[in-house]
Structure 1
Amino acid sequence: MSFDPALQVLQSTFGFDAFRPLQGEVVGELCAGRDALVLMPTGGGKSLCYQVPSLVRDGCGVVVSPLIALMQDQVDSLRQLGVRAGYLNSSLPAEEARAVEAALLAGELDLLYVAPERLIQPRMQALLDRARIALFAIDEAHCVSQWGHDFRADYLQLSLLHERYPHIPRIALTATADARTRQEILTRLDLGDARQFIAGFDRPNIRYRVALKHNPRQQLLRFLREEHPRDAGIVYCMSRSKTEETAAWLCQQGFAALPYHAGLDARLRATHQARFLREEGVVMVATIAFGMGIDKPDVRFVAHLDLPKTVEAYYQETGRAGRDGQPADAWMVYGLQDVIKLRQMMDASEGSVEHKRAEQQRLNAMLGLCEITSCRRQALLHYFGDTLDQACGNCDTCLEPVSTWDGTEAAQKALSAAWRTGQRFGVNHLVDVLRGQRTERVEQFGHDALPTFGVGSDLDGNQWRSVFRQLVARGFLSVDMERYGALRLRDNCRPLLRGEERLDLRRDPVRKAAKQQTRQALPEDIDVGLWEALRERRRSLAEEQGIPPYIIFHDRTLQEMCALLPGSLEEFGRIGGVGERKLDKYGAQFLEVIREYAAIGTAVPAS
């Protein structure tokens, strides 16, 4: 089959003079009846890779898509171009579904969109057996990965396409997949012989910006009012309640904002999504339940009020901005509480130990991207195996270089302290050793006799926590969650320890920002991040009971918790203001915060 018919379809049906890089090669592969795996960034033109061959080849192209709420919009868009398109999913009334099935069997469809849960049903497969099929396109193919952020169990059964229809070409497409996920797609979908097409991951029109939380709502409001007062955009939050609260608050500030999460009534979700797609200037405040496959070209910003748990999720979510190629913003604020919540979600999941460990590694990679002092785009692309020879000039670290300092010697001291204490202790204990604090635990384990005892008295506690945090984020140290946050050296720290590598660290303005947030002076030995985490737990407990926070514990009691860092209920009971009743009622919950902070306080800045 010549390639000319494909180019003719591209020009006459879709109105484009020529294919983009890789598009033509993919189309040629499918038109020739061969399989393909395609990785292209959002807005890179993935859809044309299967739409054009579906019109060139004899039969109907069947597109497997998890995006039930968007199928109608996709079909409507194709029909506007004169393409005979239809869809089958649970939202379609029985009579209309029968009409679509009849059109398929009569050869009156060019493209049919099907939800994966319907495709794996025997009745649907029997229907396909009787139809003329041009190809199978498996969209959002990363959903097959059990390690990924959008895993769908139904995708695991899509290998049946190869088994049942071995002579029909298949194409798997995604915008988000690291090397491990790509291999999983090939294996689980039986695409071992497929040619791989990997376009660059760079979206040069998107400006990446990341900042520490200090007053997130006001930070968001300033960003929207100063830069996007009338633009369409998406604000991602971690919880359902936060999406609704934030959307209501933005409406009070004069924005057309709508909430979206999986807990909303399906009709209301569909209404909100339709408004976002069809109206101008709407801000969608959503959980990750929203957005996969959103085909709205003029999204001018994507904002994250909470930390995504993986770089893949961050890349895919920010990729919904600027699909038209025009300038767009990816803006995010993050803090300690985000990581505590993500860790709790991981621990509560039913995944295996291996799965949880992989999740932790991906979270660490996300934190590393936040902590980077060099070009943020280069680091993001490097994660996916892509390269950018020069700094991009269009991210926050390029436009406003962060203040850094030569942390080589401090890093060597920190690594040495972790090593000499047997790699069995968390950050707070290591900080005590470095600063020469003769605490009960330091003396108990004889760590006051180590060569590293007291060698770090030139830095305060928060500065040392910043050092440890950045060593974890950059992969020199790992956090052993099974040993209550013990820090362990990784192999790549050897050149740094030997003095063969220099390390510049970010200079954090945490102390000043945090004190503005707390609006009170704190003793110098109080870690502001832990202080805020304890206040947040106190606030949530008070809210549940409808009482003022101070009735649970006074501020001075929280400060004493920060100073003493109790590790057991017995130690917690010795704190001033903690009686027997409050010990029984609240002790375990506040100890949980302290332990969580000890485990991951090294990995994030104070919020």
Structure 2
Amino acid sequence: MQQAIKELKRLFGYDSFKKGQDRLVASILEGRDVLGVMPTGAGKSVCYQLPAAMLPGVSLVVSPLISLMKDQVDALNQAGIPAALINSTLSSKELNDTFRRIAAGEFKIVYVAPERLESERFYRLVQELHIPLVAVDEAHCVSQWGHDFRPSYLAVGRLLEWIEPRPVLAAFTATATDVVKEDIVSQLRLNHPVRVTTGYARDNLSFHVVKGADKQEYIARYIRSRPKDSGIIYASTRKDVEELERYLNRLGVSAGRYHAGLSDEERSKSQELFLYDVIKVMVATNAFGMGIDKSNVRYVIHYSLPKNLESYYQEAGRAGRDGEPGECVLLFAAQDIMTQKFLIEQGEGDPARKKQDYSNLNDMVDYCHTTDCLQRYIVQYFGDPSKEPCGRCGSCTDERELHDITLEAQKIFSCVVRMRQRFGITMTAKVLKGSADAKVKQFGFDQLPTYGVMKMAKEKDISGLINVLVADGYLMLSDSQYPVLSVTQKAKAVLEGTERVFHRAVVMKDQGSGQETEGAADEALFERLRQVRRDLALKERVPPFTIFHDATLRDMCVRQPRNEEEMLSVKGVGQHKFARYGEHFLREIRSFTGRD
């Protein structure tokens, strides 16, 4: 591994591996298949890029992310690792030229879209090459139980039959439940893989759920409090994207839009302006971002409820890829649930798939209502037995007083039982409120002892409390379009009087307060170094972060290097990048500090 660490420093500018990287790199170099499950920002790409650079021949990277391919190929070439891509963006002439250069051995790494794997021309090419490694990025796409199943990914397993000798197969993803992990191993035909899961927690991110806010007003205040920060706002529909983008631009915010209804040219232009920091805010559907390797996104706001926790964590995780603090805010409204149910019913899939989709949606709604640590809720969903609260999220920083709501909980549990556990949240709330609704009387629920026992509360507040009790495991919702409530063992203990229930007062709290980046980096110097990076990026026509990440610039601000040796001690500055850019940044630092 000493040679690998040496190459890590030379090519990528890092003195040591992050958690899990060393084992994955060592296993690949030893000829073992691997499955790496690592959160966004944990350095998955290094796990296959470094071995690919060290192994003889040309390695393939299968990725569905066309925009990310270009960014990573640009970054690899700048680091001194010759790389190319094969996807639908290439013209016939560019494709012919790329195939010719691959066959001539000019590249160490070739990124390829899964749709291109089964072309006869590609099969002929791989038979002529020495391919030591095939890496599959976003490997959850191969599983029908994952949140982003792509049938074209099934071609990866068939591709191996055409490559002699069989290459090492390395699969990577940021989010995968236990079921999805097993499906990845099976579908990709991994051979007794070394499995490395480094945990799902993102220690630099803070999560918040904001309920009942005027969404547009909240976003306007939030963005105005962060004029220099880059952020992404996700919405479920194209209509919401269009309306929100127009609203922000009327307010003087430099915002762009991205959704599948735009032309390729429009999407490409918006993406480029965002990557180059010309526009600070991107309003988009989930068609945007999965392939965006922009490291300095400081916040991600979800304007609408995502369909499941996998999608949410993938999208929210685009904040803080550079390891600096990032904030993830979900704006929740009850009508969002109906939108997602409509999309499930309109979508394709057999009854088993729809049942799974409803189960996933229930988990997402529970996340919005839980009083537990939000980060812990997410990582436990993925099977990580984390016990410690994060101390940063909306739940952990909630200073509202805890109230004993055991009596209210007992009334709700008793009502669910007396309604024979056959009805949903809305009907249960109506009975507890004492509603004169015709259906309440039709079923005879106005004769129940629990009818009207919470008549002093608003019906929407009763529904909200029921949702909290579901999220905290006292009640359970069935996985269907019209879910029904049932009590759990935890609720029975409350009914029997052996357990008590506590809840924080329901007071809406503004989560839009700014979060300052920690560290001793001088903001004035940081801004000057960003300008140097921006000028270089414009000159070379590459995104700024492919030159150096924000985290590297901040380390320069702290260390204030004076020469090559000191600059090479900065995290993220390798020898190749120093040769290209080092003197530009050293000159600016010397000018700022007044030292030679």
Does the alignment reach a TM-score above 0.5? yes
- One-letter code aligned to 1:206: L
From 264, 267, 278, the equivalent of 1:266 is: 264
Change (3 A) 1:394 1:430: closer
Report the alpha carbon displacement of residue 391 of structure 1 after superposing the two structures with TM: 2.7
Match of 1:335 in 2: 333
Report the alpha carbon displacement of residue 482 of structure 1 after superposing the two structures with TM: 5.5
Alpha carbons 1:107, 1:132 under 8 Å: kept: no
**Greater alpha carbon shift after TM alignment, 147-156 vs 499-508:** 499-508
Change (3 A) 1:494 1:65: same
Q: Give 3-state SS (helix, strand or coil) of 2:297's partner.
A: coil
Match of 2:105 in 1: 107
Match of 2:550 in 1: none
1:383 & 1:274 partners in 2: Cα distance?
35
Q: Give 3-state SS (helix, strand or coil) of 2:249's partner.
A: helix
1:342 & 1:498 partners in 2: Cα distance?
37
2:488 & 2:53 partners in 1: Cα distance?
53
* 1:14 lines up with 2:38 in the alignment: no
* 1:157 lines up with 2:162 in the alignment: no
Change (3 A) 1:485 1:295: closer
2:151 & 2:492 partners in 1: Cα distance?
42
Change (3 A) 1:272 1:175: same
- One-letter code aligned to 2:172: L
- One-letter code aligned to 1:23: Q
Count, aligned residues: 509
**Greater alpha carbon shift after TM alignment, 251-260 vs 367-376:** 367-376
Equivalent residue runs for 1:380-399 within 5 Å: 380-399=378-397
2:447 & 2:250 partners in 1: Cα distance?
60
Alpha carbons 1:231, 1:280 under 8 Å: kept: no
* 1:406 lines up with 2:384 in the alignment: no
Report the alpha carbon displacement of residue 197 of structure 1 after superposing the two structures with TM: 0.6
Alpha carbons 1:141, 1:185 under 8 Å: kept: yes
Q: Can you list the C-alpha shifts for 1:410-436, whole angstroms capped at 9, x where unaligned?
A: 223222222222222333433343345
* 1:29 lines up with 2:33 in the alignment: no
2:471 & 2:228 partners in 1: Cα distance?
36
- One-letter code aligned to 2:464: S
Q: TM-score, normalised by structure 1?
A: 0.79
Alpha carbons 1:233, 1:281 under 8 Å: kept: no
**Greater alpha carbon shift after TM alignment, 475-484 vs 76-85:** 475-484
Q: Can you list the C-alpha shifts for 1:281-311, whole angstroms capped at 9, x where unaligned?
A: 5211111001113211111111111111211
Q: Can you list the C-alpha shifts for 1:165-215, whole angstroms capped at 9, x where unaligned?
A: 472101111111122221221121112511111012221211212111331
Match of 1:549 in 2: none
1:63 & 1:121 partners in 2: Cα distance?
16
- One-letter code aligned to 2:221: R
1:475 & 1:161 partners in 2: Cα distance?
45
Q: Can you list the C-alpha shifts for 1:264-294, whole angstroms capped at 9, x where unaligned?
A: 1011111111121122552111110011132
- One-letter code aligned to 2:82: R
Equivalent residue runs for 1:367-382 within 5 Å: 367-382=365-380
Q: Can you list the C-alpha shifts for 1:503-560, whole angstroms capped at 9, x where unaligned?
A: 22353347x99xxxxxxxxxxxxxxxxxxxxxxxxxxxxxxxxxxxxxxxxxxxxxxx
2:389 & 2:340 partners in 1: Cα distance?
31
Q: Can you list the C-alpha shifts for 1:462-508, whole angstroms capped at 9, x where unaligned?
A: 33222222233334434457684432334554333333333223533
Match of 1:47 in 2: 45
CA RMSD in angstroms, aligned pairs only: 2.4
Equivalent residue runs for 1:523-562 within 5 Å: none
2:338 & 2:436 partners in 1: Cα distance?
29
Match of 2:220 in 1: 221
**Greater alpha carbon shift after TM alignment, 210-219 vs 153-162:** 153-162
Alpha carbons 2:62, 2:134 under 8 Å: kept: yes
Q: Can you list the C-alpha shifts for 1:418-457, whole angstroms capped at 9, x where unaligned?
A: 2222222333433343345565544443434444344444
1:110 & 1:426 partners in 2: Cα distance?
57
1:351 & 1:173 partners in 2: Cα distance?
26
* 1:419 lines up with 2:417 in the alignment: yes
2:442 & 2:297 partners in 1: Cα distance?
58
Change (3 A) 1:122 1:250: same
Q: Give 3-state SS (helix, strand or coil) of 2:363's partner.
A: helix
1:397 & 1:439 partners in 2: Cα distance?
35
Task: Point out where structure 1 has 5 or more consecutive residues left out of the alignment.
Answer: 514-607
1:446 & 1:253 partners in 2: Cα distance?
53
Using CA pairs under 8 Å that are at least 6 residues apart, name the structure with larger relative contact order, 1 or 2: 2
Q: Give 3-state SS (helix, strand or coil) of 2:196's partner.
A: strand
- One-letter code aligned to 1:252: R
- One-letter code aligned to 1:14: F
Report the alpha carbon displacement of residue 256 of structure 1 after superposing the two structures with TM: 1.4
Match of 2:296 in 1: 298
Alpha carbons 2:84, 2:109 under 8 Å: kept: yes
Equivalent residue runs for 1:190-205 within 5 Å: 190-191=189-190, 193-205=192-204
Match of 1:590 in 2: none
Q: Can you list the C-alpha shifts for 1:318-352, whole angstroms capped at 9, x where unaligned?
A: 11111111122112211022111011101111212
Match of 2:209 in 1: 210
- One-letter code aligned to 1:174: T
Equivalent residue runs for 1:64-75 within 5 Å: 64-75=62-73
Change (3 A) 1:199 1:293: farther
- One-letter code aligned to 1:52: L
Match of 1:518 in 2: none
Alpha carbons 1:424, 1:483 under 8 Å: kept: no
- One-letter code aligned to 1:198: T
Match of 2:324 in 1: 326
1:486 & 1:368 partners in 2: Cα distance?
14
Report the alpha carbon displacement of residue 126 of structure 1 after superposing the two structures with TM: 2.1
2:347 & 2:489 partners in 1: Cα distance?
29
* 1:183 lines up with 2:199 in the alignment: no
Alpha carbons 1:467, 1:505 under 8 Å: kept: no
* 1:503 lines up with 2:505 in the alignment: no
- One-letter code aligned to 1:58: P
Alpha carbons 2:136, 2:172 under 8 Å: kept: yes
Q: Give 3-state SS (helix, strand or coil) of 2:420's partner.
A: coil
Match of 1:86 in 2: 84
Alpha carbons 2:234, 2:302 under 8 Å: kept: yes
2:463 & 2:282 partners in 1: Cα distance?
36
Report the alpha carbon displacement of residue 6 of structure 1 after superposing the two structures with TM: 2.0
**Greater alpha carbon shift after TM alignment, 473-482 vs 416-425:** 473-482
2:427 & 2:170 partners in 1: Cα distance?
53
Q: Give 3-state SS (helix, strand or coil) of 1:300's partner.
A: strand
Change (3 A) 1:285 1:28: same
1:42 & 1:300 partners in 2: Cα distance?
14
Task: Point out where structure 2 has 5 or more consecutive residues left out of the alignment.
Answer: 511-596
Q: Can you list the C-alpha shifts for 1:46-86, whole angstroms capped at 9, x where unaligned?
A: 11100111111111110001111232222111111111111
2:299 & 2:173 partners in 1: Cα distance?
21
Change (3 A) 1:68 1:311: same
Change (3 A) 1:344 1:323: same
Q: Give 3-state SS (helix, strand or coil) of 1:397's partner.
A: coil
- One-letter code aligned to 1:152: R
Q: Give 3-state SS (helix, strand or coil) of 1:86's partner.
A: strand
- One-letter code aligned to 1:202: A
- One-letter code aligned to 1:126: R
